[in-house]
Amino acid sequence: MISFATVQYADLKKIVDLNQQTAGNVFDEWFNFDYSLSDEEIKFLKDLISENEFYLSSYTEEELKMNFIGLLLHKIYFRRNGNRDWFERPLIATINNEVIGGLVDFMVAKGEENPVSPYFFIQEFKKEGKSSHPKNQLLASMLVATHLNKTNLMRGAYVIGRNWNFVIFEKMDKNSYQFFISESFDCLSFKGLTQIYKNLQAIKLVYCND
């Protein structure tokens, strides 16, 4: 079994035809989502930065999740139209005779006791030196979800310290996939965190039915 925790990009390339493409304007519709922050939301984001800016670089994975990412995701509140947030849930599939799976850091999916039809993922920063790059873990999760959902499009993000990158993952045909990686957004700058927040709101309000 190929595990999310240790998967390498080369492992994914052996399973399917997978290629990164130049982002170009592929993120424009998503990132230009028209969302106006309330005064309360502006205060929340500024407070989140001030409470973490001196510590985030030294956080463990759990500290990053509990002190920053979890608070941000709870503020988005993905529980809408039968969807909810799921942490550390298993996802597994057999693709081209290879079993691939593991625990997913965060996903948005329908379901009551178990996730069904996930459509958005976040892969968090790993400190352990032997862990694979979070991009590869995210791509593996999106590949499995695309296969299980029998869908052609998936969105997600990976987090390395203060930097967030968003990803669009597409199935082109039976065994061919492509993905796009956005520019990095600095979650400790108000401009960067505001854009991250709007991107996540777009996921909840617009893209959950793709």
Would you kindly state where each structural domain of the chain is located, as residue ranges? 2-209
CA dist list (Å): 6 to 10, 76, 106, 132:
11, 30, 17, 5
**84: burial class by Cβ within 10 Å (0-12, 13-18, 19+)?**
middle
Q: pLDDT for 52-105, tens place per residue?
A: 999 999 998 899 999 999 999 999 999 988 899 999 999 999 999 999 999 999
Give 2-209's CATH code, choosing from 1.10.3470, 3.90.1570, 2.40.160, 3.40.470. Answer: 3.90.1570
Q: pLDDT for 109-149, tens place per residue?
A: 999 899 999 999 999 875 544 557 899 999 999 999 999 99
Distance CA 2, CA 5 (A): 9
Q: pLDDT for 143-175, tens place per residue?
A: 999 999 999 999 999 999 999 999 999 999 989
Query: Please, what sign has the CA dihedral across residues 53, 163, 207, 149?
Result: negative
- Its pTM stands at 0.95
